[in-house]
Amino acid sequence: MGAAHISNRSEQPSRRWSRRGLLTALGIAPAAAVLSGCSGSADASEGTARTTASTKAAAKKPVVSVSPADGTRKAAFTEPVEVTVADGTLASVKVTGNDGSTLAGTFNAARTRWTSAKNPYSGTKYTVSATPEGASAQTATFTTRAPGETFVGYFTPEADSTSGVGMPVSINFSHAVTDRAAVQKAITVTAEPAVEVVGHWFGDTRLDFRPETYWAAGTKITLDLRLKDVEGADGVYGVQHKTVTFHIGREQISTVDLAAKEMVVKRDGATYATYPVSGGDPEHTTWSGIMVISERFRQTRMESSTVGLGDEYDIPDVPHAQRLTTSGTFVHGNYWASTGVFGHENTSHGCIGLHDTKGANDPSVPGYKFYDSSMLGDVVIVRNSGERTVDPDNGLNGWNLSWDEWRKGSAL
């Protein structure tokens, strides 16, 4: 029976079985085939995924974002500009204002973010040009808002002027300053030849700068005002961004001894002239101490009512008047007193007088000579006046403070 079944090949269709097929048909699968089949299926799936991700990545383009956002019209000027990129890195960033200024900045380690080193200026339109690696530049624009309330600093001496060795750099602000440190940090005063210069606050509207001792003759002084957008008080911002220079001329220091009633003028350390003077009488003593010439008038009117002395005098043409204090102390020519007064009596209402002539035109008299030899910033020292030392903020007279006292008045 078995022979007939096996040998009758002509009666059955022809079948070819491989070893694998036969084993499968019998329900036996080789272990190697199972592992091989599973492995081949996973590789194909992962390869497809990688290909798909790679294709998607290649299709993405870097997208740049800017803060403040593109098109903003009243952007804040109290925060830095920030540029970021998605799906790429930044090759370069340039931020330019319509005033020609530029903002420098730094990238993070991954070069996906750029931040400006300083805040943008107020009231300025900016263009941001950011270029991702391997892509074209992308641009954005924004305009910062204008500040609300503002302040400025009025400085002495005038730009490009030449002054005496006692002239401080004095800045008077148009609005009270509450953040003194922020304002002082935005102002620098440097000197050539170099010397340490320190600021001192007299109240909340005045900041003076000086070195420890008088400036050296021939010094060049540079004042940098970087007050623009500095918040000096709540909601009050500075508007100045400028650099000015001043110069110091020859050294002239005059010493007035009101016991001897004499003024000795020294120029660069050598005696230049000696003049007889008349100071304040016992009821109107002259301030003592170091004073600096802050104003000069060939002729000026002097009224006692302006210094709290009622109607004691009103002289319309005082010759060769040079201001020493805000409160009204001058060194000036005097044509109405007897020539015998000078060098012998103190008869004034607090000023220092030198013999002069009406009209201020006589070059032979002491009043004319001293005025002609002087300049703003020259030092006048008063001794033996019977009065206390002048307050350092009464005029440009901060030299009456010691260096330690001066430094204590700095906000930095």
Question: Which long-range contacts (C-beta less than 8 Å, at least 24 apart) are formed by 309-314?
Answer: 309/284, 309/349, 312/349, 313/349
Find the angle CA(33)-CA(35)-CA(41) to the nearest 5 degrees.
Answer: 100
Write down the H helix ranges in 76-228: 180-185
* Per annotation, catalytic residue among 200, 320, 351, 355: 351
Contact 300, 315 (CB under 8 A): no
Preceding peptide of 157 cis, ω within 30°: yes
Residue 103 token pair:
């903002």
Residue 138 token pair:
């992308």
Cα(356)–Cα(289) distance, integer angstroms:
25
Show Cβ contacts of residue 73 under 8 Å, excluding neighbours closer than 6 positions: 142, 143
* Residue 176 neighbours by CB distance under 10 Å: 12
Residue 351 bears catalytic tag: yes
Q: Which of 191, 199, 198, 188 is nearest to 216 (CA)?
A: 191
Helix, strand, or coil (residue 361): coil
Residue type, 83: V
DSSP for residue 68: S
* Per annotation, catalytic residue among 320, 332, 349, 355: 332
Q: Which of 72, 71, 133, 130 is nearest to 96 (CA)?
A: 130
* Residue 238 φ then ψ, to 5°: -75, 160
Helix, strand, or coil (residue 118): coil
Cα(257)–Cα(213) distance, integer angstroms:
22
Q: Which of 276, 281, 251, 253 is nearest to 263 (CA)?
A: 276
Cα(12)–Cα(21) distance, integer angstroms:
19
Residue 38 bears catalytic tag: no
Q: Which residues of 324-343 are buried (b: 16+ CB within 10 A; e: fewer)?
A: bbeebbbbbbbbeeeeebbb
Cα(270)–Cα(277) distance, integer angstroms:
20
Catalytic residues: 332, 351
